[in-house]
Chains A and B, each alone.
Chain A
Amino acid sequence: MPWSADVVIVGSGVAGSLVATRLAKAGVRVLMLEAGPRVDRSAALDQFRSALVKIPECAYPDTPYAPRPKSDDPDHYFIQDGPAKFGGTYLRQVGGTTWHWLGTTLRFLPDDFRLRSRFGVGLDWPLSYDDLEPWYCEAERELGVAGDPKADLGVRRSLPYPLPPIPMSYADTKTAAALAGTPYVVQPTPQARNSEPYGNRPACCGSASCIPICPVQAKYDATSHVAQAERAGAQLIADAVVSRIDVGSDGRIAAVHVKRPDGSEDRATGKVFVIAAHAIETPKLLLQSRTDAFPRGIANSSDQVGRNLMDHPSQLTWGLAAEPLGVYRGPLSTAGIESTRGGDWRADHGAFRLQFDNQGWAWPTGAPDSTVRELVKQGLRGAELDRALQAHASREINIATMVEQLPDAANRIVPDFDRRDAIGLPRPRITYSVDDYSRKALAHARRIAREVGAALKATEMHDGSDIISSGHVIGTCRMGTDAKASVVNPDLRAHDHANLFLLGSGVFPTSAASNPTLTIAALSLRAVDAIRRAVTG
């Protein structure tokens, strides 16, 4: 007997679990299928501590049946087709990638929704900031966003933040003071991190490990909503890899096929299907489900599925401030320069933000280990070594710049039917490049990062030469009103199949320069009504 439910949801990250919670609480029968396993937090913490290289994925299982990319090896899972290697990563496990997200919850700016109209590049979204604003409020309440009501982040707010702000780090406060009188205002970052107990989760204890794992779940992750959904009656099956989608003769989705780690196979039927498997696995599933009737794959009459893959291309700038700043304490980032996320220059180059790190040179050089090695090599021992290490570590600054990327149909993910994973499913083949629109933005951002360093009288300033990933996987199932040019409508319903919804940052028509998770959550919550109507209709 196949599993059956009113709504079958593929994926249990922030999008899938939020929708599952809302539907289950409304009495809808919900089945969630998660490719990867359930993860125990203390076991993940142990794995993090014992990991030699502490990349974002290091705390979590990399199962043969639900493989996923690794930050330090872009060829680990993806088949890279060039010209650049795509470095975005995600997790396949209950709760999804929110296990290792930073927690930044910036709203997109009004201009982010009208890039073509305002600047003549990219394309407009089929909805406006005002359309989404109530859902941003809902998303902030669900995730538990702490923010500073005094910070002007370029958007109208109809409701206050649900939580008081996370205090800026001492280093951020000193940086803000050093930049006084310049055009660059350091602003506290809104973040889904508890500044006081909220949602049965405690306040932040400053573990400096938000990526890869918060030890106390002060940082929101989607296991919160998975638990809520299950309490409301939703069924979740882990280790259930959806391998194929069946379409009935009426054009509606009829079932999904599931592969289990033991080699067995199952099916799930339902009235409505929601694919919320992030912006690589969702298009891969649609495309690998091709049939004679749908030779381009499911939901792909537009030929846009898998295309327009985007990230926030990033570079690092680091140096040694003149005075101790006490980094390596608190959340991994509490502030940044946000005003550069918008501006008239967007006809010429992308918007960007500068994120101030609280973990010294850990990202660019692997400090403090690398600093220890250097100081030991210089012959320092004992108290001398301690003093030198503290003097160095406390002054390390690192700024991550992350920039907007325009959609490009040539940047795409397709299933590679010749290169398969351990359970026989095609691996993602990715074609990716970063154009001048983003490269120019990176150059501007680097210049400002250098000015920040100069304001702090920093020495030993370096710019990373590589363009790296922010881990923000965007595009690939774009939203629009024209069925010939987009995959889903503004309710996230597939143009081609009345009972299929696609959630996640894959539906973003453009990337903006803000971290995507809050917008994923807002769009998903907005889609709930349409999903419910599809169940009853």
Chain B
Amino acid sequence: MIQLAWLIPILPLIGFLIIAFGGKKLSKSLVSIIGCGSVLAAFGLSLGIFFQLHGTSQTVKLLDWMHVGRLQIDFSFLIDPLSVLFMLIITGIGFLIHLYSTGYMKEDEKYDRFFAYLNLFVFFMLLLVMGSNYIVMFVGWEGVGLCSYLLIGFWFKNTEYNNAAKKAFIVNRIGDLGFLLGMIAIYFTYNSLNFSNVFSTVSENHLDTGALNLIGILLFIGACGKSAQIPLYTWLPDAMAGPTPVSALIHAATMVTAGVYMIARSSVIFVYAPVAMETVAIVGLITAVFAATIGLFQNDIKKVLAYSTVSQLGYMFLGLGVGAFTGGVFHVMTHAFFKALLFLCAGSVIHAMSGEQDIRKMGGLKKALPITHLTFLIGTIAISGLPPFSGFFSKDEILAHAYEHNKLYWLFGIIASMMTAFYMFRLYYLTFHGPFRGTEDQKHHLHESPKSMTIPLVILAVLAAVGGFFGIPDEHKHLLHDYLKPAFTYASAQINDAPEAFNLQEALLMIFAVIAAAASIFAAWYLYKKKNMVPIANESDLPELQRLVYHKYYVDEFYNAIIRKPMDWISDKGYKFIEIRFIDAIVNGMGTMVKWSGSVVRLAQSGNIGFYMFAMTLAIIVMLLVKLF
């Protein structure tokens, strides 16, 4: 079974090829069957491997790839608990979102292309988590970036969406450069890019902290790009231009967690690189708080979720940075459940509202969309961290480790968590409670989504509700920790990421976190349910500070001013001076020279045969004379 692991990424690839080349010839139902079926088959295989793995770590070699000098790169897959967990998340949630898309994208004329891209994405994402060396991982890494670009700009007739796609692609390139440099640094330090070789070498010989810190920070820059951390997070909120299932799959559940996976995979490097580790924690924490504050005042249903994704990703990095590798991965898992759920619910709402995304124009959708309402509520509670829903357990584990590491980190973590609870319930109340604020047309149009969309919602809601029980905070009951232990063997020799025995201190921390979340939920309830407050429509009426937050701290404008404007200036000057004065001059000069010499030589070609023969004879005589003397 495990030897068949190579089939898992190949199946969605085959699906992609059939749909992409079959194109319009295939009927919509056939496209749905191939698209969903290939991912479901991959999920089945992953599940089979999951039950046969028994905590071992195996390499499945598909083919030799590059053997150049000392560099040995195989196209092979590493099957260990960590990669199998991600494979399950990717194929499982991927399948649900494929299923959802069959309903959501029904009316779209590019239905087949959408499924082709989704399948291609699943293929690359699986490559990313399954690769047994950094190169295969990098191929997947770039591939998901490409698919993300294609899917954000899926409705490419809209220029704004296209710009969002380009922004995502370019910002990701910055991070990718960091990852690439990190790989080069690893190769020059350890002469290998295979996970097993690098990690065993690092765990034996880790005296060169400088090199390890450098590698760690470079890898983290890569993770920052893909996982939307400060300062490279600006692309993710804009990426909401894509269809909602894409936001759920790529920009919430899977692709953006690639950075977390990469750092968890490289945990050995990070545990011996204290500076890099601290950087991860601090950047994660700042991102968590910063993005949460922006989320407080956004009025677009998907933008709120996008900032909450950035904030939750920050949480995951905080977890990794303070050494809670299991906690970080645990949060990836629970976040995949509840955030995919929330996005799909948002999609259902947008579907019912005929494309409206502004929560100021919603309200009172509870009656019209009962299933969506209930599942959204479950997702909201889960992300807010109320027990016994999944978000509570994973967040608590991260916060507990943060508390041990540095109490200040814990405090800011709680603040971010409070803000999360507040804006999520604000979103919930504004969308589902109070009077309906849309147009009459929309009111008549309101309807619950079809079965193909509500079934994934219900399944995800169940997972979001009970997913936390995989990681009960006690050293003996934490299933996920036991399961992942083999993947972090090297790392746990240095840093203990195990949950401790349940004790009073941890219980107090938990109670405090829950009270904090409950308090902010109450605040949201009071403002948006009891007083029926609606965000001000005219943004110039906003108070100063709120307007700053509403405009996302003007970070986009700031980047424009410090990066784009100077670039434009340099390009403009380069065009006017170097391009026109030098490059154009050289190219045009060549042309002019050829024309001129042609016009001179042309005179000899008079068409007079007598002259030709005279010239020929003269030339022969000259040659003769040269030969003789």
Q: Do A and B come from one complex?
A: no
| Chain B contacts to A: CB under 8 angstroms | none
